[in-house]
Amino acid sequence: MRNTIAVMNTKGGVGKSTVVLALAETLSAFHGKNVLIVDSDSQASVSAMLMTTASLFKLQQDGQTIVDYLVRTVLHEETVEWPRFVVRDLSDVDDARSVYLIPSDMELTLLEREVSKGGHHGRLRGTIKGLIEAVRPVFDVVLIDCPPGLSVLTECWLREADFHLSPTKPDYVSVCGLEVFRRFKALNPEMGFAENIGTLISMKDKLSPSDEEYHRWLRDNAENRCFEQPVPRSNALQDAARFAPHQRSYAAKYPGEAGAAMKALAKEVLVRIAAGQASAPEKVETAKTSEVAE
């Protein structure tokens, strides 16, 4: 099953992490999907959206993040069990109980420096390939939240994941970011690259004629494969980034147009994943979600 999606835009602040969070919670709450989020951004935004600061701090102190996994496998050449780095019982949405996370840490940038300095790119790529292959049969959907820019780690995800999804604000700079990304994708085709599952118009202001114009322009380029459903700019989606200490319903967190948009988008994503199986290399089932760490 091809189900691993690198969520990526070379530009920051376009709503990537928010989309990853809301999509994961929607797929869990309304479609019963087991969703793994891999937080590959040193800012750990999506990790912080899914738990309290204290919980995240403890995971970082205990060496339970993607950084620890990569330091041990890539730099120390240890064999470590990836399920031990997967956190469960996350999310403040009471119906989204099947969201899992490999959290991140600021130290990710230091790891990337060590990889570059030591020339360990091949080992990093091999580790990411192995991790993708291991999680693919265990979860229904895997969302990899990438940082802005094109780091060595992001390049690995983009080359090893099945798909990439690009959230894009309907404005000039984001459109330029997409163009840079397209040029990057064309480099070294022999090294492989994820398939474009779609460009997602994010943070769209429904009252802005300029947003509408950029949206139309992006949609008219078939290469973008724009999703029908844009993500609206809304207070609810802005607030979704703040983890609530008490459980709440999906409708309380994503009221009105925010929830309606996320539900429509989740359906589109599932349809495109299903359609993307045509070129699927069959993968062997090796593990189940019950094996992930408590």
Ligand X SMILES: Nc1ncnc2c1ncn2[C@@H]1O[C@H](COP(=O)(O)OP(=O)(O)O)[C@@H](O)[C@H]1O
Minimum distance between the CB of residue 147 and Mg ion, rounded to whole angstroms?
A: 7
Helix (H) or strand (E) holding 183: helix 172-186
Question: Can you tell me the distance from the alpha carbon of 30 to that of 148, in angstroms, rounded to the nearest whole number?
Answer: 29
φ/ψ (deg, to 5) at 39: -85, 105
By rule CB under 6 A, what string of x and - marks binding of each residue 43-62 to ligand X? --x-----------------
Residue 231 interacting with ligand X (CB under 6 A): yes
Q: Select 4 or 43, whichever has its Cβ closest to ligand X.
A: 43
Q: Give, rounded to a whole angstrom, the gap between the first and last alpha carbons of the chain.
A: 25
Q: Which is nearer to Mg ion, 14 or 138 (CB)?
A: 14
Q: Which of ligand X, Mg ion, none is residue 233 near (CB under 5 to 8 Å by kind)?
A: ligand X
Q: Which is nearer to ligand X, 130 or 149 (CB)?
A: 149
- Helix, strand, coil percentages, rounded to 5, for the chain: 50, 15, 40
Give the whole-angstrom CA distance, residue 193 versus residue 191: 7
- Please check whether residue 174 is in contact with residue 14, taking contact to mean a CB–CB distance below 8 angstroms: yes
Report, in Å, the least distance between residue 69 CB and ligand X.
21
Helix (H) or strand (E) holding 5: strand 4-7
Which of residues 141, 203, 226, 262 is near ligand X by CB under 6 A?
Answer: 203
Q: Which member of 18, 91, 98, 196 binds ligand X (CB under 6 A)?
A: 18
The mark string for 118-157 relative to ligand X (x by CB under 6 A, - otherwise) is: ----------------------------------------
Q: Which two tokens stand for residue 101?
A: 């996370």
CA 100 to chain centre: 12
Q: Please report, as ranges, the residues that interact with ligand X according to CB under 6 A.
A: 12-18, 45, 202-203, 231, 233-234, 237-238, 241
